[in-house]
Amino acid sequence: MSYKRSKYFTTSNKRKIKHFILNNKSKITVVFFHGFMSDMIGAKPKAIQRFCSKHKLNFLKFEYSGHGKSSGKFTEGNISKWTNDAKQLIKAKVKKDSNLIFVGSSMGSWVALKLIKKFKKKINGFIGISSAPEFLDRLMWRKFNKKIKKKIIKEKFYNLHMSNSVYPLTKQLIWDGRKNKILNKKILFRIRVTLFHSLRDEVVPLKFSKMIFKIFPNSNRKLIKIKDGNHSLSRKRDLKKICSELNNIISKKD
């Protein structure tokens, strides 16, 4: 087993992407995709990293451009750029003979879902945590009033105050989100899919995970509803359940 400290990968567009690799010379690599305005040092990636270390699996986590300590401005980023960041990094850092398990948190599920077909021959499974594909349009733009929409169109920027956080939204971010629809697609090849969603998620409704379910008609699918959790699902008992499902996918248990 070898640990590699956080390093930087330079993309074709000169963006420097901070990442961490745990190399256990395994045939399986678990890739963690963090959420919107998040980073790779939260409770979920740490718990999954510990799991991978214990079970001698390879592990990769990273930060999209404009997030954490990766280069670039957040307001210049979008789903297309962040998906490309992830695709280039995975291709460069994951060995060709390694199978992949993607774990996406919130927006990270959107990015991961965009890449599953790109890595079709290598994907073994997908775990979605409080998944939020197409949230820019479905949860933001469609619910904005005329005043907010007018401000975004005219000024190309708006600070959205939501759930005790401020989200700097740009017109290009929202417009780009529309080019990256995934919920109207079908992934017909068979993989193992587990989705976690809290019934009390205050940010993303349960219906988003139900819509993802329909993307995988031929897969071994499971939707785990957490009765008392929140959007983060970062409590010890939440993390234990996530790692247990990761173990099921690796062990190919139903």
pLDDT in tens, 177-225: 999 999 999 999 999 999 999 999 999 999 999 999 999 999 999 999 9
Residues 6+ positions from 57 with CB-CB distance below 8 Å: 22, 24, 26, 28, 29, 30, 51, 250
Q: Which fold has domain 2-134+182-251?
A: Rossmann fold (3.40.50)
- pTM, to two decimals: 0.96
Residues 8-61: tens digit of each pLDDT: 999 999 999 999 999 999 999 999 999 999 999 999 999 999 999 999 999 999
DSSP structural state of residue 164 = T
Structure tokens at 63: 């930060």
Candidates 105, 123, 57, 114; CA nearest to 85 is 114
The rounded distance, in Å, linking the Cα atoms of 205 and 253 is: 28
Average pLDDT of the residues in 77-96: 97
**Would you state the pLDDT for residue 1?**
42
Residues 6+ positions from 40 with CB-CB distance below 8 Å: 18, 19, 20, 32, 34, 61, 62, 63, 68
The rounded distance, in Å, linking the Cα atoms of 211 and 41 is: 29
> 4: pLDDT confidence band, cut at 50, 70 and 90?
low
Angle (nearest 5°) at CA 137 between 133 and 141: 145
Distance of CA 74 to the CA centre of its chain: 16
Distance of CA 166 to the CA centre of its chain: 20
Q: Where are the domains of the chain?
A: 2-134+182-251, 135-179
Residue 167 in contact with residue 144, Cβ under 8 Å?
no
Residues 142-186: tens digit of each pLDDT: 999 999 999 999 999 999 988 778 999 999 999 999 999 999 999
Secondary structure element (H or E) that encloses residue 215, with its range: helix 207-215
